[in-house]
Structure 1
Amino acid sequence: MGFSLATWNINSVRLRAGLVERLMTEDAPDVLCLQECKSPVELIPMEAFRALGYEHMIARGQKGYNGVAILSKQPITEVASFDFAGLGHARHIAGQLENGVTVHNFYVPAGGDKPDREINEKFGQKLDYLTEMRDWWHANAPQKSIMLGDLNIAPREDDVWNHKQLLKIVSHTPIEVEHLAQAQDAGNWVDITRQDIPEGQIYSWWSYRAKDWSGADKGRRLDHIWATQDIANAGHSSRIRRDVRGWEQPSDHAPVFASFDL
């Protein structure tokens, strides 16, 4: 039996509840993972989401910052919530579906503006977060799992609009890419999006600063869907709904989708 997932940095689930409802109506993924919800859990507008078939939610919330939620049409049982680097932030939630698949929803720290931990504490926190993630996967080899979310790193040259220009820009620096690769290798994770779309530039984020974001197309692929090797071959139908970035009062991220025959 197959199921579909989507990951979307919503940049305020309450402000953009209408956009979430629209995506639920138009695409209806079985599992929708949101990041940067910016809301206490009890204020997430679940009544409207339940009316569209999303009866189950596990989440971690904060007022005005961070926040992750997994909304599901199927029952889901919370199994973990990591606070890597001890930041005290709501950046991870994991749940197990009835088919035995564990879904990890992450919001990795953005890392600030300067890629130097000596002058930018946030960049150091990002690297530490990824290091602890790597160590966790090393010690707790994941199986039958999907890891997705806003990982805030565009790892490949064709995950950004201009590789050379972005080498010193946070989200595409070599040290970040290496830290993410080590975390990926530690869990034997397979990048499902790139398994399906191995070639070409694809993006999931475009800055609010660009007036003509689509025409300029200076994007980055910051949002990812990974799966453990034991189920990676079941993954398919990856896509990014670029047009959602053009909806009224949008998030600066577009939702990323994949399906699994499990």
Structure 2
Amino acid sequence: MPRTILLTGAAGGVGTLLRELLPGHGYRLRPADLHPIDGAEDAVVFDLRDAAAVRAAVRGVDAVVHLGGISVEDSFANILGSNIEGLHHLYEAVRLEGVRRVVFASSNHAVGFTPLTGGGLIGSDVPPRPDTFYGLSKVFGEGLASLYADKYGVETVSIRIGSCVARPCSPRMLATWLSPADCARLVHAGLSAPGVGHTVVNGISANTRAWWDLSSARALGYEPQDDAEVYAAEIIAEHGELDPDSPEARLLGGCFTTVEPPL
């Protein structure tokens, strides 16, 4: 099992949570981000658009957990540089340095236009239906991971993350929540499961109101322990139930399906 992990995007919301939780699963982290990370003197600072810097950051690690890049909708030019070209730099660095495992933070927004009205849980095998340029970059990332698995033997688990925050704060998150502890469990499964090739999994907790099927994640050894339902009464009292006519209730990507990129 890989032990020394390059954690990109370590200053972000999910990255900050995993910096605290992954060492408990036996990993030594090399945190990395575009900007210095408070309290992490051993952090590596680099830009994903700089191929040489990316390769230097990858050198000597056993695996990569890639959270880096732009995590919201942005102009296509910005998404192209960080999320598409930057990800290619990362996979080239991984290939050249002989790293054999990546856990890639994909997103529900890679399939955001998937309707929620078809009945049954949504599997991880649904076709791409990105809802934004950001979601499109995650479709590219899953495709790139598939290519590098088949052509070069670099194995990847792509996690279509729902809403990874300390606690759910909206009716939508009662379905999409991925607790920090379950996120760490899922990343650990992605790092330690044998023979994954390129595997796409849905990233949520064991939510009573889940829209997603977790079969492919459970096949890796993921056993979620948390359920957003413990927050349901409080959230519904404050916000009410989802409006059935709203994008939040009709489409997996929710309001991202209506977002326009900045000029």
Q: What TM-score bracket applies, with the shorter chain setting the length?
A: 0.3 to 0.5
Of Structure 1 and Structure 2, the greater strand share is in 1
TM-score by length of 2: 0.43
Of Structure 1 and Structure 2, the greater helix share is in 2
